[in-house]
């Protein structure tokens, strides 16, 4: 587990460590025994980029039903049409989900509860990097809400659904297979210059003063990794295996579409992709590794095709204090959805 890999955290986050991983390690093929026949999978943000490719690869390993999420039904239907033409036997559905809205997240989770007989694998991929400070209707900076707060909310809301559907799907006397919940992190979480704020953590990263989109993006991915480490303390890997996948650099997506005209950011993303990035197929295969191949040993961990250390900051005293504080603050932020009560019921 990542929690035990403190000694190699410095190397994993270093420039040579990143180059080593990206350039000299090939992503292994998905083992042939992986077969999702009869299984239902969800990929959020699957209108393009890694999400759409993940949907395709999940269908390639015979997922029977795929829910792909889109902010607008029409964009999702375009993506779904492409998949349906290649996988005509699969049941492919488009459900809308706008992560800038807590209400949309709750409605989506509600549909999962009422409309799905099975739910086996969830990949929370929807995410973005924005260079300007924009507040959502819920009053939070948009990158913070989309990448972190709404992702955390959706993760918590889906945990009991994954568990109950697995129990319902098991034959009498059979031990249910754990559900799978993989959230998408980033290498950027390694490199963020995070200082423990004197006051609230969420408020400290929710100010337009000195706002820098890349830094904000990195912080949201660090927060996601922190919260998954805490979820794994509460939730049993026998119920749901929760982990963070780090796609590292993947070329050919629209992640930095908001950076038009911001030449320094565009140059960084382009050069990073060129030198260290993976093609979309290989980069995405890491999602399937984390969600299907890695087992209970990956619970609460950060990794790609293998379990890797957390960002170094998480092993420091300040990082541990911050992780605990973030957990409390996030519970308070999301209290309208009674997340504390949900997690209490998930306790093992």
**Which residues are catalytically annotated?**
217, 221
Residue 126 binds to ligand NAP (criterion: CB under 6 A): yes
Instruction: Decide: helix, strand or coil at residue 122.
Output: strand
Are 158 and 106 contacting, i.e. CB atoms less than 8 angstroms apart? no
Query: CB-wise, 48 or 331, nearer to ligand NAP?
Result: 48
Tell me how far apart the alpha carbons of residues 20 and 265 are, in angstroms, rounded to a whole number. Answer: 23
**How many beta carbons lie within 10 A of that of residue 38, not counting itself?**
12
Query: CB-wise, 182 or 343, nearer to ligand NAP?
Result: 182
Q: Which stretch binds ligand NAP (CB under 6 A): 8-16, 49-57, 81-89, 192-200?
A: 49-57
Number of H helices, E strands in the chain: 14, 8
Residue 92 backbone class (left: φ over 0; alpha: ψ -120 to 50; beta: rest):
beta
Q: Which stretch binds ligand NAP (CB under 6 A): 84-92, 162-170, 196-204, 253-261?
A: 253-261
Residue 135 binds to ligand NAP (criterion: CB under 6 A): no
Residue 111 binds to ligand NAP (criterion: CB under 6 A): no
Residue 127 binds to ligand NAP (criterion: CB under 6 A): yes
Applying CB under 6 A, among 253, 290, 298, 323 the residue interacting with ligand NAP is 253
Contacts of 330 (CB under 8 A, 6+ apart): 149, 152, 202, 227, 339
Q: Which stretch binds ligand NAP (CB under 6 A): 29-37, 67-75, 205-213, 232-240?
A: 67-75
Applying CB under 6 A, among 12, 112, 146, 169 the residue interacting with ligand NAP is 146
Applying CB under 6 A, among 254, 279, 281, 324 the residue interacting with ligand NAP is 254
Q: Which stretch binds ligand NAP (CB under 6 A): 1-9, 39-47, 152-160, 230-238?
A: 39-47
Residue 99 binds to ligand NAP (criterion: CB under 6 A): yes
Minimum distance of ligand NAP from residue 145's CB (angstroms)? 8
**How many beta carbons lie within 10 A of that of residue 286, not counting itself?**
26
Instruction: Strands of the chain (E only): list them.
Output: 40-43, 65-70, 91-96, 121-124, 179-184, 240-245, 302-303, 307-308
**How many beta carbons lie within 10 A of that of residue 271, not counting itself?**
11
Query: CB-wise, 187 or 239, nearer to ligand NAP?
Result: 187
CA 76 remoteness from chain centre: 19
Applying CB under 6 A, among 75, 84, 118, 325 the residue interacting with ligand NAP is 75
Residue 97 binds to ligand NAP (criterion: CB under 6 A): yes
Using CB under 6 A as the binding criterion, the count of chain residues that bind ligand NAP stands at 27
Residue 247 binds to ligand NAP (criterion: CB under 6 A): yes
Query: CB-wise, 145 or 229, nearer to ligand NAP?
Result: 145
Residue 213 binds to ligand NAP (criterion: CB under 6 A): no
The residues pairing with 92 across neighbouring beta strands, listed in sequence order, are 66
Q: Which stretch binds ligand NAP (CB under 6 A): 27-35, 252-260, 310-318, 326-334?
A: 252-260
Six-digit token string for 336: 């309208």
What is the 3-state composition of the chain as percent helix, strand, coil, each rounded to the nearest 5? 55, 10, 35
Tell me how far apart the alpha carbons of residues 155 and 175 are, in angstroms, rounded to a whole number. Answer: 23
Residues that bind ligand NAP (CB under 6 A): 45-51, 70-71, 75, 97-100, 125-128, 146, 184, 186, 247, 249-250, 253-255
């Amino acid at each position: 587990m990542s929690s035990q890999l403190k000694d190699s955290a410095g190397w994993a986050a270093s420039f040579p460590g990143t180059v080593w991983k990206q350039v000299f390690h090939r992503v292994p093929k998905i083992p042939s025994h992986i077969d999702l026949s009869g299984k239902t999978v969800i990929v959020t943000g699957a209108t393009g980029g890694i999400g759409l490719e993940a949907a395709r690869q999940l269908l390639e390993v015979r997922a029977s039903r795929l829910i792909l999420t889109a902010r607008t039904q029409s964009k999702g239907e375009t993506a779904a049409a492409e998949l349906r033409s290649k996988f005509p036997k699969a049941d492919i559905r488009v459900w809308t989900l706008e992560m800038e809205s807590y209400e949309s997240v709750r409605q989506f989770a509600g549909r999962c509860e009422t409309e799905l007989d099975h739910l086996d694998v969830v990949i929370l991929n929807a995410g973005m990097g924005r260079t300007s400070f924009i507040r959502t209707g819920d009053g939070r900076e948009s990158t913070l809400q989309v990448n972190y707060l709404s992702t955390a909310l959706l993760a918590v809301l889906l945990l009991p659904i994954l568990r109950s559907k697995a129990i319902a799907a098991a034959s009498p006397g059979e031990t249910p297979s754990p559900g799978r919940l993989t959230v998408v992190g980033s290498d950027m979480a390694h490199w963020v210059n995070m200082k423990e704020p004197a006051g609230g953590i969420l408020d400290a990263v929710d100010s337009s003063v000195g706002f820098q989109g890349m830094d904000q993006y990195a912080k949201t991915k660090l927060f996601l990794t922190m919260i998954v480490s805490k979820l794994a303390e509460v939730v049993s890997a026998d119920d749901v295996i929760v982990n963070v996948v780090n796609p590292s650099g993947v070329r050919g997506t629209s992640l930095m579409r908001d950076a038009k005209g911001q030449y320094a950011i565009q140059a960084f993303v382009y050069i990073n992709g060129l030198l260290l990035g993976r093609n979309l197929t290989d980069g995405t295969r890491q999602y399937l590794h984390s969600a299907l191949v890695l087992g209970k040993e990956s619970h609460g961990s950060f990794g790609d095709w293998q379990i890797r250390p957390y960002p170094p900051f998480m092993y420091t005293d300040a990082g541990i204090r911050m992780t605990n504080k973030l957990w409390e603050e996030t519970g308070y932020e999301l209290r309208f959805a009674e997340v504390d009560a949900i997690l209490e019921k998930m306790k093992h």
